[in-house]
Structure 1
Amino acid sequence: MYLSRWNPARDLISISDEMNRLVDTVFGDRARETSLFKGSWSPAVDISEDDDNFYLNFELPGMTKEDVKVRYEEGLLTVTGEKRAQKEDKDINYHRIERSYGRFERSFRVPSRIVSEKIDANFNNGVLTITLPKAEEVKPKEIEVKIK
């Protein structure tokens, strides 16, 4: 008998695949393009920090800076946008469409210890980078410990 370690992620992936097959079977292969599924995508974001700033890096392939809006209000940073679907060629028979399209909105509660007037956003090669500068009082300070 062969024993293998149980991997819960494998079960989740299997369930996700089964759900996709069920949706495709019941509603047709293009079901995820209908209004039921449109706008349900959410871009991936990495959040990091160094001594001076917090950073949010959004993956937005196929989008331009004109497709994205960044708003900061009362401690809430909100990024909205829309990824438009490519025009379909009616002569092509699609077997599977996995790319996501539609509107998205992501909001993040921002620590009060940032300098909101200096928030910066930069869009380059499909990546939106938002820089949130830390206020001086929260930056790490080195304190010399004297040993007696």
Structure 2
Amino acid sequence: MTPFDEMNRAFDRMSRNFGRMDLSDFGRVNWGDLDGMRRSGIDIDVAEYDDEIAVVADLPGFSNEQIDLTVRDGVLSIAAERTMESDEGDESGAYLRRERRAESLRRSITLPAEVMEDDASATYSNGVLTVTLPKVTVEEGSDSHHIDVN
């Protein structure tokens, strides 16, 4: 048992004590996953292959236009932002619950190898973003310079 288990039980007691009040916005926190709080809401997988690095990120509910990717100095930055839709039209009803809100997510990943930034590509399908970053190939001897001895 962790101290966070006691916090979850306290939320449960608070929910019971307040009866009909809707406390669902507080949610239950998985305190055991402290890494999840650091991730800024974007779950990723990073894979390194011989010739490329692949980053796969879950971004459900966004469109291609709402996603911004940059790579600079070995850091891939992912940003996604959506705004709340306006409520125009039918005035005969009112929201009883509204959970889909504006959202802004950001995550930066230090890449495990040098990449050719200009050749990076990305696809987005069914809420999954896949970024492919070709690695810089070092040809033997290309990083050295011959010095003549006089």
Which bin holds the TM-score, normalised by the shorter protein? Answer: 0.5 to 0.7
1:128 is matched with 129
Name the CA shift for 1:30/1:113 in 2 (closer, same or farther; >3 Å).
Answer: same
Structure 2: stretches of 5+ with no match in the other structure: 27-38, 140-150
Residues 42 and 57 of structure 2 are in contact (CA less than 8 Å); yes or no, is this contact kept in structure 1?
A: yes
1:36 is matched with none
2:111 is matched with 110
Distance 2:136 2:110 in 1: 16
Equivalent residues in 2 for 1:1-148, closer than 5 Å: 15=7, 18=10, 29=23, 41-85=40-84, 91-94=94-97, 97=99, 101-137=102-138
Under a length normalisation based on structure 1, what TM-score does the superposition of the two structures give? 0.59
Using the aligned pairs only, state the percent identity: 24
Distance 1:55 1:130 in 2: 6
**Aligned-pair Cα RMSD in Å:** 4.0
Name the CA shift for 1:18/1:67 in 2 (closer, same or farther; >3 Å).
Answer: farther
2:33 is matched with none
Residues 54 and 132 of structure 1 are in contact (CA less than 8 Å); yes or no, is this contact kept in structure 2?
A: yes
Residues 55 and 132 of structure 2 are in contact (CA less than 8 Å); yes or no, is this contact kept in structure 1?
A: yes
Count of residues in Structure 1 that have an aligned counterpart in Structure 2: 119
Distance 1:86 1:16 in 2: 33
Residues 68 and 79 of structure 1 are in contact (CA less than 8 Å); yes or no, is this contact kept in structure 2?
A: yes
Residues 70 and 78 of structure 1 are in contact (CA less than 8 Å); yes or no, is this contact kept in structure 2?
A: yes
Bigger CA radius of gyration: 2
In the TM superposition, residue 137 of structure 1 has moved relative to its aligned partner by 2.9
Structure that is richer in helix per residue: 1
Distance 1:100 1:17 in 2: 28
Structure 1: stretches of 5+ with no match in the other structure: 1-5, 33-39, 139-148
Name the CA shift for 1:50/1:17 in 2 (closer, same or farther; >3 Å).
Answer: farther
Name the CA shift for 1:78/1:92 in 2 (closer, same or farther; >3 Å).
Answer: same
